[in-house]
Every structure is written in structure tokens, then in C-alpha cells.
Amino acid sequence: MADLTEEFKDELAKIKGQVDDHEARLAKLEAQKQKVQIGGSFMYRTGAQETANVPLSSLDWPDDRFGYHHLVLDLSADINPSLMGKVTLWDVQGAPLAATSGPLVREAYVQSQTKWGELTLGRQNYAWGSGLLVDNQLATQDGARFQTTFGRGTGFQAILADADNGAVGNSYGPAQGYVAPPEDDEYFALRLDGKLLGADVGVNWLGDGMRYEKAYSVDLGFDIWGRRVTGEWATLDQNAAGMDTDAQAFTVKA
């Protein structure tokens, strides 16, 4: 053995150097992975708004203009291989949107990969299917979201959150006519999804929406002629006032 070691000492030294180099590179990548990643966007829109009493031809530019800006800042970091965190800040100023009083925390959560599935805790946005039934992109919520897969690609998701986060200033849209939910209003929803005849199919149940809302929906997605077609059909069993109803809605996008 000593003779072989002596005979191939140059090759062994070269291999050891390569291994040390790879280990150093791996350590560097792991260190970089834990650094905070920064992203975001900025949008500014301006224009003139015509009304029934004020035609566009009578508006003066720039005195009668309206405009707003929308600033988004994303901060995220991998705390360890199974845990990451993210914070998203928004700043919206100017009509006709609901302005924020300084930067608004749109998202602030930690996400853990457990042996049972993915668990997300904190303020977060989510949408299921086409977003007809479950979509809080315009009114972020504090809560817990769990998702996992089992069987042959069958997915399960559950959300338990506070619905009272949807206040004016926390929504990226017109403030007129907005009715904020009461304090301590909870939000609970379940979803099953999978494949059926080559299409993506999801079944959603809203057990507790805003106030007394209860509803369910089915969403579908498939590819045809090089295009993605999605749709969702929903039924509202009970409205926010607690009254029974059979109101229905559907959406199709191609």
C-alpha cells in the first residue's frame, strides 16, 4: 500500500486539491444562498379622466391630470435548506387608488418544508384555480397555509386566516364602496386538485369567508392548440349577511 501511495502521490495530491476546491465552492454557494435577495418593481401612471359633466376636450393639461405610483419591494432569504422567509412592502399614492400611509407590509411570512408538506405562516397572498372563489391578491391576510401531495399527483391545501386584514389601504384597487369585514372574522378554505383525462382539476370549499360566506367551486385547466384554457364555476351557498342563496358565477380564460 505504501508503494502504491508513493507511486501515485502526484495524482492523489491533484485529486485532493480538486476535492478541496469543490468543497470550498460548495461552502461559498451555501453562504450565498443564505443572503437576503432583493427584488421589486415601480409603476407610475398618469392621465386625464373624462366625466359626464367634464368632457375630455375641456380638460387642461397638466392641471386636470390624475396619477398614481405603485412601488413594490421584495426581501427574501433561505434561513436553512427547509426554511425560508419573505417580506413584501407596498407603497401606493395618488387617485384613483386607495393610498397607503407610507410603506405597507403586504407579505411577511416564513415557509417550512416539513415531512408532511409545506407550511406557510404569516401575512401572505394566495389564489386557487382562476381565483373566482379563493383569491386574496388584493387584500392580504394573516394566517396559516398548508399544502401537500399524495397518491398519484393529488394535491391538498388548507387555509386558516384572519379575514379582517382586508382594510382600505391594504387593497390595490378603488376604495369606493368597500365594506371592511368585522374584527376577528376568520377565513377557512380547503382544496383538492389533481389530473383528470389530462386536465388539471380542482375542487374548492370556502367554509368561512367574509362574515358568514359559504361557497364552493370547481376549476379546470387544459392545453389546446398551443393555448392554455382555464375556467372556474362557483356557487355561493350563504352570503355575507348569513342569508341562504344559490347565486352562481363562472369565468373562462383562453
Q: What is the pLDDT of residue 47?
A: 64
User: What does the pLDDT average to over 93-109?
Assistant: 72
Domain annotation covers residue 97 = no
Contact 172/213 with Cβ under 8 angstroms? Answer: no
d(CA 17, CA 11): 10
Identify the residue with better confidence: 93 or 251: 251
Number of domains in the chain: 1
Q: Do the bridges between strand 141-150 and strand 118-124 make them parallel or antiparallel, or are there none, so unpaired?
A: antiparallel
Would you place residue 38 in the very low, low, confident or very high pLDDT band (cuts 50, 70, 90)?
A: confident
Domain annotation covers residue 158 = yes
Q: Tens of pLDDT along 51-61?
A: 555 565 665 55
Q: What is the pLDDT of residue 174?
A: 38
Q: What is the pLDDT of residue 89?
A: 87
Domain annotation covers residue 223 = yes
Q: What is the pLDDT of residue 200?
A: 94
Q: What is the pLDDT of residue 159?
A: 96
Domain annotation covers residue 83 = no
For CA atoms 130, 133, 136, 141, give the dihedral sign. Answer: negative
